[in-house]
Structure 1
Amino acid sequence: MTDHAIIAELAALLDATQLAAGDAALAFDRDHSDGTGQGVPIAAVFPTSTDQVAAVVRLAAKHGVPIVPQGTRSGLAGGANAVDGCLLLSLEGMTSILSIDVADQVVTTQAGVITFELVRAVAERGLFYPPDPGSWAISTIGGNIATNAGGMRCVKYGVTGDFVRELTVVLASGEIIRTGHRTVKGVAGLDLTSLIVGSEGTLGIVTEATLALLPTPGEPCGVLAAFPSPSQALAAADAIMATGRRPSILEYLDAGTIAAISSFSPSSRLPGGAGAALIIQSDEAGRAAADVEEYAAIALACGATTVDIAQDAAAVDAIMEARRMLHGAMRAVAGASLNEDVSVPRSRLAELLNGIAAIGQNAGVDIFSAGHIGDGNLHPIICFDPADAAAVATANDTYQHVIALAISLGGTASGEHGIGSLKRAHLDAELGPTVRQLQRSVKHAFDPAGLLNPGKKL
Structure 2
Amino acid sequence: MAATGAEWSTDAAVLGEKRLDRSGWEPDGRPLAVVYPRTVEQVRSVLRGAAVTRTPVVPRGAGTALTGGSAAGAGAVVVDLARMNRIVEIRAADGVAVVEPGVITADLDRAAAAVGLRYAPDPASLELSTIGGNIATNAGGLRCAKYGVTRDSVLGLDVVLAGGTLINTGRGTLKGVAGYDLTGLFVGSEGTLGVVVGATLRLRTLPAPTATIAASYPDVETAAAASVALAEARIQPVMAELLDEATLSALAGTGLRQDGGALLIVQTDGGDDEAAHAVAVLSRGATSVRSDGDPDSLLAARRQALPAIERLGRPLIEDIAVPRSQLASAVRSIADISRRHAVPICTLAHAGDGNLHPIIVAGSPGSPIPDSAHRAADEIFGLALELGGTVTGEHGVGVLKREWLAREIGPVQHALQQQIKSVFDPLGILNPGKGI
Query: Structures share a fold, TM > 0.5?
Result: yes
Evaluate the alpha carbon distance shift between residue 49 and residue 150 of structure 1 in structure 2; reply closer, same or farther with a 3 A threshold: same
Following TM superposition, by how much is the alpha carbon of 1:326 offset from its aligned partner in structure 2, in angstroms?
A: 1.7
Aligned: 1:13 with 2:39: no
Aligned: 1:432 with 2:410: yes
Following TM superposition, by how much is the alpha carbon of 1:241 offset from its aligned partner in structure 2, in angstroms?
A: 1.4
Work out the CA distance in 1 between the residues paired with 2:28 and 2:114.
40
Work out the CA distance in 1 between the residues paired with 2:281 and 2:165.
55
The residue type paired with residue 299 of structure 1 is: L
Following TM superposition, by how much is the alpha carbon of 1:401 offset from its aligned partner in structure 2, in angstroms?
A: 1.7
Following TM superposition, by how much is the alpha carbon of 1:407 offset from its aligned partner in structure 2, in angstroms?
A: 1.2
Partner of 1:208: 198
Following TM superposition, by how much is the alpha carbon of 1:390 offset from its aligned partner in structure 2, in angstroms?
A: 5.0
Work out the CA distance in 2 between the residues paired with 1:269 and 1:241.
28
SS of residue matched to 2:312: helix
Work out the CA distance in 1 between the residues paired with 2:142 and 2:10.
38
SS of residue matched to 1:128: coil
Aligned: 1:133 with 2:106: no
Aligned: 1:148 with 2:173: no
The residue type paired with residue 352 of structure 1 is: A
User: Equivalences for 1:181-192 in 2 at 5 Å?
Assistant: 181-192=171-182
SS of residue matched to 1:270: coil
Following TM superposition, by how much is the alpha carbon of 1:88 offset from its aligned partner in structure 2, in angstroms?
A: 0.6
The residue type paired with residue 121 of structure 1 is: A
Aligned: 1:307 with 2:289: yes
SS of residue matched to 1:89: strand
Evaluate the alpha carbon distance shift between residue 282 and residue 83 of structure 1 in structure 2; reply closer, same or farther with a 3 A threshold: same
The residue type paired with residue 304 of structure 1 is: A
Aligned: 1:196 with 2:159: no
Following TM superposition, by how much is the alpha carbon of 1:187 offset from its aligned partner in structure 2, in angstroms?
A: 1.7
Following TM superposition, by how much is the alpha carbon of 1:397 offset from its aligned partner in structure 2, in angstroms?
A: 3.1
Work out the CA distance in 2 between the residues paired with 1:38 and 1:122.
41
Following TM superposition, by how much is the alpha carbon of 1:35 offset from its aligned partner in structure 2, in angstroms?
A: 4.5
Across the two proteins, how many residue pairs are aligned to each other? 435
8 A Cα contact 1:155 1:372, kept in partner = yes
* Cα displacement string for residues 387-438 of structure 1 (whole angstroms, at most 9, x for unaligned residues): 5755444323321221111112111110000000010111221000000000
Work out the CA distance in 2 between the residues paired with 1:292 and 1:38.
52
8 A Cα contact 2:241 2:265, kept in partner = yes
8 A Cα contact 1:280 1:292, kept in partner = no
Partner of 1:298: 281
Work out the CA distance in 1 between the residues paired with 2:38 and 2:375.
40
8 A Cα contact 2:59 2:191, kept in partner = yes
Evaluate the alpha carbon distance shift between residue 393 and residue 358 of structure 1 in structure 2; reply closer, same or farther with a 3 A threshold: same
Work out the CA distance in 2 between the residues paired with 1:355 and 1:246.
26
Aligned: 1:272 with 2:261: no
* Cα displacement string for residues 254-296 of structure 1 (whole angstroms, at most 9, x for unaligned residues): 00011112x2xx2x35232621110000123xx1x44333222
Evaluate the alpha carbon distance shift between residue 57 and residue 220 of structure 1 in structure 2; reply closer, same or farther with a 3 A threshold: farther
Following TM superposition, by how much is the alpha carbon of 1:386 offset from its aligned partner in structure 2, in angstroms?
A: 4.0
Is 28-37 or 185-194 further displaced after alignment? 28-37
Following TM superposition, by how much is the alpha carbon of 1:56 offset from its aligned partner in structure 2, in angstroms?
A: 0.9
- State the percentage of identical aligned residues: 42
The residue type paired with residue 110 of structure 1 is: E
| Equivalent of 1:74 in 64, 70, 75 | 64
Would you tell me which structure has more helix in proportion to its own residues?
1
Work out the CA distance in 2 between the residues paired with 1:36 and 1:221.
43
Evaluate the alpha carbon distance shift between residue 219 and residue 358 of structure 1 in structure 2; reply closer, same or farther with a 3 A threshold: closer
* Cα displacement string for residues 31-58 of structure 1 (whole angstroms, at most 9, x for unaligned residues): 1013554541001111111111111111
Aligned: 1:168 with 2:146: no
The residue type paired with residue 333 of structure 1 is: L
Work out the CA distance in 2 between the residues paired with 1:358 and 1:219.
36
Partner of 1:332: 311
User: Equivalences for 1:24-35 in 2 at 5 Å?
Assistant: 24-35=14-25
**Which ranges in structure 1 are unaligned for 5 or more consecutive residues?**
1-5
Is 236-245 or 76-85 further displaced after alignment? 236-245
8 A Cα contact 2:27 2:73, kept in partner = no
The residue type paired with residue 18 of structure 2 is: F
Provide TM-score, normalisation by structure 2.
Answer: 0.96
8 A Cα contact 1:95 1:111, kept in partner = yes
User: Equivalences for 1:194-273 in 2 at 5 Å?
Assistant: 194-261=184-251, 263=252, 266=253, 268-272=254-258
Partner of 2:83: 93
Evaluate the alpha carbon distance shift between residue 54 and residue 392 of structure 1 in structure 2; reply closer, same or farther with a 3 A threshold: farther
SS of residue matched to 1:419: coil
Evaluate the alpha carbon distance shift between residue 51 and residue 80 of structure 1 in structure 2; reply closer, same or farther with a 3 A threshold: same
RMSD: 1.6
Following TM superposition, by how much is the alpha carbon of 1:89 offset from its aligned partner in structure 2, in angstroms?
A: 0.7
The residue type paired with residue 199 of structure 1 is: S
Partner of 1:57: 47
* Cα displacement string for residues 150-205 of structure 1 (whole angstroms, at most 9, x for unaligned residues): 01111101110011001000000011000012122222211100000000000001
